[in-house]
Structure 1
């Protein structure tokens, strides 16, 4: 297939994916589907940054454009790209191109690292012998083979009786295509037991589990079988932040969630997520979200009461 035909095929698949997602997404928001790991995201307007701890997933934009922030790094992706998050990461995401006539449409396919590991073991995919650590989030260019598999997965929603048998097979194919991509090595290293990346992934899970407790680098270094300096270096290569900065993001995101869902005192919430000083909590909260806790929550609630879409 020559370059022109490949481009035409990619555009056709992209257009079909857009039509399918739009048909199954009648309203804005994150929408579940009959395939448990598959969600659609729709937004008729651009958005403010939305903070979350993103779990491992493939995200493909069918229409519109988005930017994801990881620490100080920006990742832009649109209709010719896909984004892979290969380990739990605290990020913010912002839709930067959307309208009522052409809403932002995105497909998110969550996956378990064990699925990837099983696939690697059963296939002839090579693994780099270089024990390096790579960023746990990346953007890559879509291709016809990946798009074809993704479109076939979405088409299954029209045949619910086929989902239990065929969806797992198509999802395996999608993961296989990602692993074949020129940045697939990042995902391979993170799931391979014993690799430095995999050990950092275990440290991430420990920090998530104990986010409200004091961070003990010695314990994390022992868990990873690394020196403190190696732990910091590999952790930052994967997450773009230090273990302490990572924990701080988890604490502040959880604090914001609690403040939004409960009529709790800001100082009490600060203590609840692990801060000993209310002033430090307020200062670090404002640094991340732009306003002190009470003013930020008031703004968020006003936005909820008066949505722009």
Structure 2
């Protein structure tokens, strides 16, 4: 889709989102898992964890740094994250007269697995490199499905029956798009990707617990060396660094949202040494905890 010439469907989406785009912020659309994101100016780079989701940029643009690779997602493009990834993200193009506008839809892993199984899709060829983050031009069919999903917010009598059908349609359209091969990689049962995903899920739920490489590898039913290799290929980082990023991101959220100080936050996420916590926090976010939180509150 040419970003300079909005399609009919894109224009209809803009009309549906008009009530959200009058001010900047992150908004619930009324459809579970579908949010609207609006920014009136470029933002500073922010460390965060991208989860399994689809993002469609309708206006403006953003940049995502992951494993030293920059992914650009501009108006008329859809970005799919198929794996929980630590990234550095920022809105690169936005203004008050032309704000950044994006829709983000959380994807259901079990629905992806079920759909791939129903279609009897074969495993992707081994020579195709799996990418956990991909960005391509969005097609009219996907835009139309999102438009119909948004209209359900005001159709309460049929919403429960039709929403699951549209959710499945979106998965089908993604499988039929350039994103599809990477979804098939994710859904390949018994593959190293699936085993690593189990370990990542465990880390997300238990990041405050201490665990060694061998124990994580056992959870993934892999040798330590193979686990480390596949984990790095999927996430762009080592298991230890991934856990550290989860801990530091959670600590940052606790200080910013719940008013914890650095000592309380470091203990809550599993650090035994507040000095080590402050050192690693500064290395990741660029400032000591107190100064970083103050800066975020002033943005």
Asked if Structure 1 and Structure 2 have the same fold, meaning a TM-score greater than 0.5 normalized by the shorter chain, the answer is: yes
TM alignment of 1:167-178, pairs within 5 A: 167-178=163-174
CA distance in 1, matches of 2:231, 2:198: 11
8 Å CA contact 1:64–1:98 kept in 2: the answer is: yes
Residue 274 of structure 1 and its aligned partner are, at CA, apart by: 2.1
Residue 86 of structure 1 and its aligned partner are, at CA, apart by: 1.3
1:142 aligns to what?
138
Residue 188 of structure 1 and its aligned partner are, at CA, apart by: 1.7
8 Å CA contact 2:123–2:188 kept in 1: the answer is: no
1:35 paired to 2:20: no
1:73 aligns to what?
69
Gaps of 5+ in 1: 1-5, 304-309
Q: 2:60 aligns with which of 54, 59, 64?
A: 64
DSSP-derived class of the 1:214 partner: coil
Q: 1:208 aligns with which of 182, 204, 211?
A: 204
8 Å CA contact 2:55–2:102 kept in 1: the answer is: yes
2:178 aligns to what?
182
Cα–Cα, structure 1 residues 89 and 71, in superposed 2: closer, same or farther, change >3 Å?
A: same
CA distance in 1, matches of 2:181, 2:215: 28
2:111 aligns to what?
115
| 1:66-98 superposed Cα distances (whole Å, 9 cap, x missing partner) | 112324332110112111111222333211111
| 1:244-303 superposed Cα distances (whole Å, 9 cap, x missing partner) | 111111011011112123443313322332223333221211121111111111222223
Cα–Cα, structure 1 residues 263 and 105, in superposed 2: closer, same or farther, change >3 Å?
A: closer
8 Å CA contact 2:116–2:187 kept in 1: the answer is: no
TM alignment of 1:1-309, pairs within 5 A: 11-128=7-124, 130=126, 134-303=130-299
Residue 24 of structure 1 and its aligned partner are, at CA, apart by: 4.3
8 Å CA contact 1:133–1:238 kept in 2: the answer is: no
RMSD between superposed Cα atoms in Å: 2.3
Residue 25 of structure 1 and its aligned partner are, at CA, apart by: 4.1
Residue 13 of structure 1 and its aligned partner are, at CA, apart by: 2.5
8 Å CA contact 1:86–1:136 kept in 2: the answer is: yes
8 Å CA contact 2:209–2:270 kept in 1: the answer is: yes
CA distance in 1, matches of 2:75, 2:165: 25
Cα–Cα, structure 1 residues 214 and 131, in superposed 2: closer, same or farther, change >3 Å?
A: farther
8 Å CA contact 1:10–1:147 kept in 2: the answer is: no
DSSP-derived class of the 1:22 partner: coil
Gaps of 5+ in 2: none
DSSP-derived class of the 2:18 partner: helix
| 1:28-87 superposed Cα distances (whole Å, 9 cap, x missing partner) | 222112211211111122212333322211100011101123243321101121111112
TM-score by length of 1: 0.88
CA distance in 2, matches of 1:260, 1:10: 38
CA distance in 2, matches of 1:265, 1:37: 31
Higher mean displacement: 23-32 or 237-246: 23-32
Q: Alignment length, in residue pairs? A: 298
TM-score by length of 2: 0.90
